[in-house]
Structure 1
Amino acid sequence: MKRTRLIAALDTQDLDQARDWAEKLDGTVDAIKLGMEFTYAQGLSAVRSVAGERTLFLDLKLHDIPNTVAKGLTSLAPIGASLLTIHASGGSAMIRAARQAIDAAYPPLHRPILLAVTVLTSIDEAGLREIGVPTTPREQVVRLGRLAMTAGADGLVCSAEEIAPLRDALGEAPVLVVPGIRPAGSDANDQKRIMTPRQAAQAGADWIVVGRPITQAADPATAAAAIQAELAAA
């Protein structure tokens, strides 16, 4: 039976803080995530330093013309990330260029999972209308999911609410990475489309991403262990 894995989002600009969280969470989470906030503040050498031998989700959400995205992914190869993100809304040509770059730049046994971000978990239907997309988040996620997988992505980043529709449309092929996860009783913060870890696991998430409920807890390792227990019981 598939096990849903836990990624801890280390969202900080502070190098010492990121290292401290990573060390405290060793053996408790399945991967760590470093994104734009940390990478832009500290640079790729710091990303490599914090990651060490840990499984790394490097979440930079590349979105540009195909050639620029391809070269960007090639430049990231020395980091050794296990999961990388691009935006599905960049279109099929951009996604194909990303696929080709990864296949060329990374050794076959160490190629990262190429994830296409569908609709951010902070966006609801009103937010989509604001940017000229006259559909529901669910419809847009499935549309972008089909496009991304056809163009060569390995998986998708989606909210928990779109796991079931994506499985119905695309089966088990996509690796589904799900942010916007909040344990019962947690503050939703700026997330709009959320679920608990148990709900996301039951819906079929491959990985869930949890940030503040872990990193802002009095004991991050204990908070992460509680989420792992919830996933195991799903």
Structure 2
Amino acid sequence: MREERPIIALDFPSFEDVKTFLNLFPSEEKLYVKIGMELYYAAGPEIVRYVKNLGHSVFLDLKLHDIPNTVGSAMAVLANLGVDMTNVHAAGGVEMMKAARQGLGEGPKLIAVTQLTSTSEEQMRDFQNIQTSLAESVVHYAKRTAEAGLDGVVCSAHEVEAIKAETSQDFVCLTPGIRPAGSAVGDQKRVMTPADAKVIGSDFIVVGRPITQAEDPVAAYQAIKAEWNA
């Protein structure tokens, strides 16, 4: 199941910035947006309610990672906001992920972060002391995520094929670090174009600055959406 809309990362510092950005789009254009830590901590739950009231879909990207009871309770709160998708860190373990699933309920999608797309293999081995390859680490986390009953993972598009081969074709792979050909890579280490992500089997793609910082964000969004659905 592939989402036809690229998810727009609303990486803005304030509620007003979000309003200004969303007002650029015609009201009939229903978007799928990502609300991350910066915006959520600045604006609180009200930003989710505002975006949902406009008819948009919301991926609440808070990457919860704590003891199972705490994560389960937090997910019960997030469920009341009507989010369409949210996430945890797979490193929290199977029991934590199961508690998250129970707390959130069966409606919204729940996915897990494997390795951040800003993490290189050298960093993983040096800091996390994981002495396998980056790809092996990601697939291991994905298999444990499936075991916990979650819908899928956040991963690099480069890892989608291996993850689906070890889980199932229905296991969701959401890929950030998507950049149109020729755009700046920024702080992402592992990136891919929308067209390449489609070919390789990504179910959701997340695009931020190539849309939000474009001279014409609506035109940039439509171009990326067209490439994703070509």
Q: Same fold (TM over 0.5)?
A: yes
Unpaired segments of 5 or more residues in structure 1? none
1:141 to 138, 142, 151: 138
Alignment of 1:40-119 (within 5 A): 40-52=41-53, 53-103=55-105, 111-119=107-115
CA 29–180 in structure 1, closer or farther in 2 if over 3 Å, else same:
farther
Q: Which amino acid aligns with 1:162?
A: E
**Contact 1:10 1:18 (8 Å CA) reproduced:** yes
1:46-97 deviations in Å (ceiling 9; x for gaps)? 2321332210111000000000000100111221110011111100010111
Q: Which residue of 2 aligns with 1:164?
A: 161
1:146-197 deviations in Å (ceiling 9; x for gaps)? 0011111111110111011112211212111110101111111000011000
Q: Which residue of 1 aligns with 2:35?
A: 34
Q: Which residue of 2 aligns with 1:200?
A: 197
CA 55–2 in structure 1, closer or farther in 2 if over 3 Å, else same:
closer
Secondary structure, counterpart of 2:146 in structure 1:
helix
CA 4–54 in structure 1, closer or farther in 2 if over 3 Å, else same:
closer
- What is the TM-score normalised by the length of structure 2? 0.94
1:88-126 deviations in Å (ceiling 9; x for gaps)? 1100010111111122xxxx5xx1100111110000101
1:154 to 141, 151, 156: 151
Is 1:180 aligned to 2:177, yes or no?
yes
**Contact 1:7 1:33 (8 Å CA) reproduced:** yes
2:124 to 125, 128, 139: 128
Unpaired segments of 5 or more residues in structure 2? none
- What is the TM-score normalised by the length of structure 1? 0.92
Over aligned residues, Cα RMSD in angstroms? 1.6
Q: Which amino acid aligns with 1:42?
A: A
Q: Choose 38-47 or 114-123, whichever is displaced more.
A: 38-47
**Contact 1:119 1:141 (8 Å CA) reproduced:** yes
Measured in 2, the distance between the counterparts of 1:2 and 1:78 equals: 25
- Fraction of identical pairs, as percent: 44
Deviation at 1:4, TM superposition (A): 4.5
Q: How many residues align?
A: 227
Q: Which amino acid aligns with 1:123?
A: T
